[in-house]
Structure 1
Amino acid sequence: MRVLIGSNADQVARIAADNVLAGLAEHGAGQRQVLGLATGSSPLGLYRELGKAVSESRADFSEALGFALDEYIGIPDTHEQSYRQTLINEVCNVIGLRAENLSVPQGTGASVPAVQAAADAYDAAIKASGGIQVQILGIGANGHLGFNEPGSALTSRTRIKRLAAKTREDNARFFAGIEHVPTHCVTQGLGTILDADRLVLVATGAGKADAIAAAVEGPLSAACPGSVLQLHRDAVVVLDEAAASKLTQREYYDDAAAGISEENLVIV
């Protein structure tokens, strides 16, 4: 895991975007890009930086595929607070990803088994695409990734989940009151997330400091779903000073971020 700390929100966004673009570049220019997309306030600056890269001809997402992390159950995908509409507004319209190339878990169906069957098909569709090359992530104050709340199995796949009370409270600001916030969702599982070739997690603000400390330096535990990043071969965690404030190994992270020079490779 690499932990990269920016001095302000703009620098965090640039660092995160650079790591997304570098992860995509590892797959070569001829391979179709496949992005995993998170909603929330944390990655908004990252998406703006990717849009800037497109405007400067450093990136092109017009043929890319996008897979959302999650979707609410019980509201249509045309609802303004559905994650489909959120991603169209905050990602597709910003980076030039075509809306028809955006896949979002299905949050409606005739029955619970029908919704779960669609969730299984979503997992299969990710695999059929060749797999997510770079998965963009935020983290909840309780350590959730996607809507994998504390207690989620570390090997879980896309499925129906009950939202924690804290998560519903945090999201109530987007609705006309907490009574209008859905109680359930469909989310990529932690195992699904771990299948991505690179993970880029963005967190800013003191409200995320405890979750980041638990995810990065705490024990691997379902009590903090974000700790599953410790299992990934290429996880990049990009933070501002406030989100990094409770990390105990800060000096090492800063040293490691400096990288290795060619002279270090020479044996005298």
Structure 2
Amino acid sequence: MIYKTDYHTHTYYSDGKGWPEDYISRAIEIGLSEIGFSDHLTLTDEQQDWSIRLSLLDEYIDRIIKLKESVSGITVRLGLEVDYFPDKEEEINKYISGLPLDYVIGSVHYMNNVSVDLGPEYYENKDINKLFESYFKLIAQAASSRLFDFMAHIDLVRIFRYFPSANAESFYCFLARELHTSDIPFEINTNGMNKPLKDFYPDRRYLHIFREEGVPVLVNSDAHNPSRLGQYFNDAHSLLINAGFTEMVSFNNRERIIKPLNSDVCEQ
């Protein structure tokens, strides 16, 4: 059986629709080995509705730590999903260094301080090839900052089904090399199935490139509701096996742990 973890989840502390306890109950129900919490931390000048308020950060951390200590039947991990801004590396480090986190997810939701995932209008009348190039460079820059333990939805700009007109593979080759150089894992994010994209992040056609470059991987749901925990995981694990991956990563106290990816994929 596959050792199933789901580290990319969001609760009422950011933009999710459930409390941590609700997610834990669901995680045990579907047979996860580990459940991780990663509410958004977005350090923009104005408070964003989808980000945890800094005034609640200590409460969030204390709540998850108590659950880590008290819950049986599953391992609970504490994390954050932190938006990367090239000019805020020092500020990001100030907030996350010293926190008792098991992992920090790096993500890019903004280009030039504009969100790329709130609506298709952002993509209209843009050179999509250049947009993809810029986005992938931001992901690579975030990985090289060494602020994060793995990168989320590394081709989020596919969300509204705008795609490069040609040579898309070159973007993934570039990013796989950069992640390998920075030694930063990536996730298969199954939440793309719930978006206009109707597919996983990253593009399944290029998973073999990351395997060939030796980039570590894990599978996450990016659940904003407990009902979506572990969603489409059997398909995602099968894709990894078919692409030649033999292991996945988990985390504890920001230390990476290798878990074998068993080819015995059973229905959940």
User: Larger Cα Rg: Structure 1 or Structure 2?
Assistant: 1
TM-score, normalised to structure 2, is 0.35
- Bigger relative CO (Cα 8 Å, ≥ 6 apart): 1
TM-score by length of 1: 0.35
